[in-house]
Structure 1
Amino acid sequence: MKNLNKLLLILTCVLFSTACEKHVVEYKATLVDDETTAQFQIFYMVPLTTGTANNINKVELNGELLTNETTPLSTYNFIPSGAVGRFFTTKPGAVSLKLYRGAVNSLTLAYDQSFDLPAGKYNLVVHDFNKPPVIIKNETPYPKVTTEFTGTTAWVKFSNFLYETTGVPTSLKLQYQFQYIVDNTTNQKSDWANLGPPVAFGEATGWEPVTVNKTVEISSGSARIDYRIRLIGADGSDQGSLKVRNSAGNMIDYADWWNANIGRIYLHTLAGFRAATPIASVRSAGVL
């Protein structure tokens, strides 16, 4: 009986070891080196009305197909889409980017630009069909906070692609500001705080922290954050609120709000026409 027990113990150990070896989880992936590979997302921020006619249904890089109508690029959106944190990859250096828009059976070449793309992670912002994209560094590794308790931080990067009229980017320097609810019982709000430094057209802040005072205690945590935009003079002084046209045709102080989740990272991009249609607004995209 003792020998039988020993034999069973040995067999159990062998089977356990073999089972572990046979169930190693592997993922098919190719290692990407940030220092030798160009990684990019394409943002479509040309001030156009939304709709099928302006959708990008074919994208080519260096003569090779990146995407087609199965993943169309709509106005004020970006690709790759479908999951946060996805990028296309290519060799750094001179690249050629072509965008085709319109119906699938009658595509028109809308964008044909060559430019240098360095190694690393970048957002390519197409804002004018006749100009190369603005290249904004994605800035990795992404920020984080380690805490013993629930965190209270999300991060936002604001970029300015506001146009005055067709072909005329704004000359205004803009200060993005945020405000959050301090007390969820009384709805008391914080003072307005700057989100990074003021930015001119084609510029972006870094990943700037915003405070998320979650509304549900036992949860991963989310809350509303209010935003406004101030005009900054050449001397650095606050010149008042940015005024934009609304859907009714009136000029009003820009104001908006977005929900933020603790630990998440977001891109906020201002695009459109300040005093015409399509009207200007901030588009939000989750990065992580």
Structure 2
Amino acid sequence: MKKILKLLSFMVMLIFLASCEKNVVDFPAEKITDETPQFQLFYMVPLATGSANAINKVELNGQLLANETSPLNTFNLIPGGAVGKFFSTEPGTSNLKLYRGNVENMTLVYDRDIEIPAGKNSLFIHDFSEPPVIIPYPTPLPSITTERTGTTAWIRFINLMYEAEGEPTDLTLQYQWQYTTDNETGDKSEWFDLGEPVAFGEFTGWEPVTVNKTVEISAGTARIDYRVRLIGADGSDQGSLQIRNSSGNQVDYSDWWNAQIGRMYNHVFAGYRNATPGVNIRLSTAH
């Protein structure tokens, strides 16, 4: 009997070992280093939102990055679904292809060889016939250490404004911000410059803004007001940027967005100043 039990135990062990060997759990992955090109892809061509202009296929070096189940929509980016996500690729020249329109009859609208730098980058497609604007991420990311509740978020302003179709702006823009200093009275601060003035295709650094949170016991969110000033060739302030509103009238540009303490946001100024779709901030949370 003991021999039978030992034999059965031995057979069970053999079966267990065979099953373990047969179902090896593997986690294939590629090592990411500081030299690995990484990127996010922003679709900022001034086109109306909707399925007709959605990018239903994105390929990099023949590898599928997005399709119709999760398309790249106008004024959006991939990878999406969470902050701080990037694609990676091999160093050297990469070929990027974008296909637009009906899934059963898609049109190749962008086919370009590009050099993606090492590290993390944002790629902004603003014209199907032009190379992307490539903006590197800072290393390390900005941060502030405090013993008490923080009061800072960071904004990066990117100027991709077009005057009309095929006409990038020749204006230099100064992005400015203002916060509420007293949430009970609604008193506002003075206007502050957000970084330096930027021409088309240029961008500021990650600039700190003050978040005076509206709920004391919370992670911390508050409204920040924004406006855009025109800067002359001599560096002087030429007044507020005027844009055409939905009624066809010229008005001073202004807007506001909520910001959360510790977050980093892209403020991409994209669209047409004097046509549709109108220029506006296309906001995304970077970190």
The within-5 A match list for 1:256-275 is 256-275=255-274
Q: What is the CA-CA distance between 1:251 and the residue it aligns to? A: 1.0
The within-5 A match list for 1:70-219 is 70-219=69-218
The within-5 A match list for 1:225-240 is 225-240=224-239
Q: What is the CA-CA distance between 1:74 and the residue it aligns to? A: 0.5
For 1:209, the aligned partner's letter is P
Give the match for residue 56 of structure 1: 55
Once the two structures are superposed, residues 200-230 of structure 1 have per-residue CA deviations (whole angstroms, 9 ceiling, x without a partner) of 0001100000000001111110000000000
Q: What is the CA-CA distance between 1:140 and the residue it aligns to? A: 2.8
Give the match for residue 278 of structure 2: 279
CA distance in 2, matches of 1:274, 1:111: 24
Q: What is the CA-CA distance between 1:123 and the residue it aligns to? A: 0.6
For 2:279, the aligned partner's letter is A
Structure 2 unaligned residues grouped into runs of 5+: 1-26
What SS class does the counterpart of residue 109 from structure 1 fall into? strand
Once the two structures are superposed, residues 18-62 of structure 1 have per-residue CA deviations (whole angstroms, 9 ceiling, x without a partner) of xxxxxxxxx98654112x200000000001111100000100111
Give the match for residue 10 of structure 1: none
Maintained 8 Å contact 1:267/1:284: yes
Q: What is the CA-CA distance between 1:115 and the residue it aligns to? A: 1.7
Q: What is the CA-CA distance between 1:69 and the residue it aligns to? A: 1.1
Per mean C-alpha deviation after superposition, the further-off stretch among 242-251 and 196-205 is 242-251
Q: CA RMSD in A?
A: 1.2
Once the two structures are superposed, residues 142-200 of structure 1 have per-residue CA deviations (whole angstroms, 9 ceiling, x without a partner) of 11111000000000000000001111100000000000000111100000000000000
Q: What is the CA-CA distance between 1:92 and the residue it aligns to? A: 1.9
Give the match for residue 33 of structure 1: 33
TM-score (norm 2): 0.89
CA distance in 2, matches of 1:176, 1:188: 21
For 1:116, the aligned partner's letter is E
Give the match for residue 251 of structure 2: 252
What SS class does the counterpart of residue 104 from structure 2 fall into? helix
Maintained 8 Å contact 1:59/1:99: yes
Q: What is the CA-CA distance between 1:71 and the residue it aligns to? A: 1.3
CA distance in 1, matches of 2:263, 2:222: 12
What SS class does the counterpart of residue 159 from structure 2 fall into? strand
What SS class does the counterpart of residue 202 from structure 1 fall into? coil
Maintained 8 Å contact 1:273/1:280: yes
CA distance in 1, matches of 2:71, 2:156: 25
Q: What is the CA-CA distance between 1:130 and the residue it aligns to? A: 0.5
Maintained 8 Å contact 1:121/1:140: no
CA distance in 1, matches of 2:139, 2:42: 18
CA distance in 1, matches of 2:228, 2:92: 36
What SS class does the counterpart of residue 59 from structure 1 fall into? strand
Maintained 8 Å contact 1:176/1:228: yes
CA distance in 2, matches of 1:139, 1:202: 18
Once the two structures are superposed, residues 234-277 of structure 1 have per-residue CA deviations (whole angstroms, 9 ceiling, x without a partner) of 10000000101111111110000000000000000000000111
Once the two structures are superposed, residues 59-97 of structure 1 have per-residue CA deviations (whole angstroms, 9 ceiling, x without a partner) of 011122111112100000100000100000001211110
CA distance in 2, matches of 1:55, 1:103: 9
Maintained 8 Å contact 1:173/1:200: yes
What SS class does the counterpart of residue 141 from structure 1 fall into? coil
Runs of 4 or more, structure 1, over 2 Å off, are: 27-31
Q: What is the CA-CA distance between 1:138 and the residue it aligns to? A: 1.8
TM-score (norm 1): 0.89
For 1:114, the aligned partner's letter is D
Give the match for residue 240 of structure 2: 241
Identity fraction in percent: 64
CA distance in 2, matches of 1:31, 1:64: 18
